[in-house]
Amino acid sequence: MENNTEQYFNGKRVLITGGAGFLGSSLAHALVARGAQITVLDAMLPLYGGNLFNLEGIREKIEFIEGDIRDEALVQKAVTGKDIIYNFAAQVSYIDSKDQPFLDLDINGRGHLNVIEAVRQFAPNARILFSSSRMVYGKILTSPVSESHPTDPLSLYGIHKLLAEKYYRYYAHTFGLDTVSVRIPNPYGPRQQMKHSKYSIVGWFVRQAMDGKAITVFGDGAQERDYMYIDDIIDAFIELTAYGVAGEVYNIGTQERVTFGGMVDAVLAEVGSGSKENIPWPENYEKNETGNYVADTSKIEQITSWKPSVALAEGIARMVTYYKQYKAQYW
Ligand SMILES: NC(=O)c1ccc[n+]([C@@H]2O[C@H](COP(=O)([O-])OP(=O)(O)OC[C@H]3O[C@@H](n4cnc5c(N)ncnc54)[C@H](O)[C@@H]3O)[C@@H](O)[C@H]2O)c1
């Protein structure tokens, strides 16, 4: 299907929660280039990927509010007058969600309910997009995974992402709000946080290799994942903003079928330093292993012209170039 979103964003008033993070800032750059008026709301919580350097180059063109999606009055003010709201703010680590269950619920559940309630009252005509996760599926029973695959998450992070999806769907059906949720696979690329191993595995491995360290792979590394380059994710959000159907949820993915070990090999080849070490699965990790994940993306393809275009080796090459140049801002 041929669509054109070039003019869609011109002059639109856009709020991006979590907009100093990886996805939010990348989207902010793309939408400033399309003529949108951007407001970023970000709490800059230390464990997550908020980094003001991510907004370098557009900082003077946007409004930046340091604040929390759980702050009712602030969020009500921030959503007022907006045409489009991207709700990306999150506790982003499924590992941390086990140790801090109430924090995860507070941000990934209540925080999102707070935003959507504010939208209902103060911006009922806004289009609202939510960044969900492949983690809502849990154990993979049938592949490729379509949106109707059972949802039985293996982490509190996944449970709370599913909870938020349900909020968005409920508000669409009950109050007619214009909400769309997007289930994201494993993302990677420039502006991703590189501070610790609890979020992006590709980012962490790029860092390990650049620091000349050994990358540890559990088991034989044969599990397949869908690693998705940031530009392809942002393009999907742009298309779904224009064409996504209210109340619906969409998978995105590359269908590249890369094994974990293959991803590590690609990182090592591109960086040119570091090494690989295979170790047995620790007991607690195996319980959370979902099995091979490949998304069925026919639903988004039916309504948009979106197609991922960056293969893993190319994406990692771009990422390594970026972090070699800006290492001091991310390490
Ligand atoms: N497969 C997955 O699970 C997956 C993959 C990628 C992204 N996502 C989702 O996409 C979104 C963006 O992720 P990202 O990769 O850009 O992560 P990120 O950590 O780079 O960005 C998240 C941003 O949210 C901000 N934030 C956290 N809590 C906040 C709060 N209470 N109020 C305001 N701001 C807050 C952080 O400061 C950070 O800047 C998240 O919702 C994440 O869950 C899911």
Q: Report the amino acid identity of residue 152.
A: D
Structure tokens at 25: 């800032």
- Ligand 1 centroid, distance to 168 Cα (angstroms): 17
CATH superfamily of 13-329: NAD(P)-binding Rossmann-like Domain (3.40.50.720)
Per-residue pLDDT of 250-304, as tens digits, reads 999 998 889 999 999 999 999 999 999 988 888 777 677 888 999 999 999 999 9
**How does pLDDT run across 155-178, given as a tens digit for each residue?**
999 999 999 999 999 999 999 999
Residue having the nearest C-alpha atom to atom 2 of ligand 1: 133
> What is residue 166's predicted lDDT score, i.e. its pLDDT?
98
Q: Tell me, what DSSP letter sits at residue 155?
A: S
Q: What is the pLDDT of residue 113?
A: 98
Neighbour count for residue 125 (Cβ, 10 Å): 10
Q: Does any ligand 1 atom lie closer than 6 A to the CB of residue 17?
A: yes
- The neighbouring-strand residues paired with 279 are 218
Mutate-to-test residue for ligand 1 from 15, 16, 23, highest number of ligand atoms within 8 A of CB? 23
Closest ligand 1 atom to residue 161 Cα is 43
Give domain limits for the chain: 13-329
Asked if 230 contacts 187 with a C-beta cutoff of 8 angstroms, the reply is yes
pLDDT score recorded for residue 3: 58
- Residue 66, both tokens: 């340091």
Span from the CA of 280 to the centroid of ligand 1 (angstroms): 30
One-letter identity of residue 15? L
**Predicted local distance difference test score (pLDDT) of residue 328:** 96
CA gap 254, 7 in Å, rounded:
26
CA dist 28 and 330 (Å) reads 19
Cut 0.85: pTM above it: yes
Is there an atom of ligand 1 within 6 Å of 308 CB? no
Going 109 to 331 to 232 to 274, the CA torsion angle's sign is negative
Which residues of the chain have a pLDDT value below 50?
1-2
Residue 252 in contact with residue 183, Cβ under 8 Å?
A: yes
Q: Is 135 in the pocket of ligand 1 (CB under 6 A)?
A: yes
**Ligand 1 atom 28: the closest Cα is on which residue?**
90
Q: Are 146 and 88 in contact (CB under 8 A)?
A: no
How much is the pLDDT for 2? 47
User: Which whole-number Å values give the CA distances from 38 to 34, 83, 115, 195, in the listed order?
Assistant: 11, 11, 17, 27
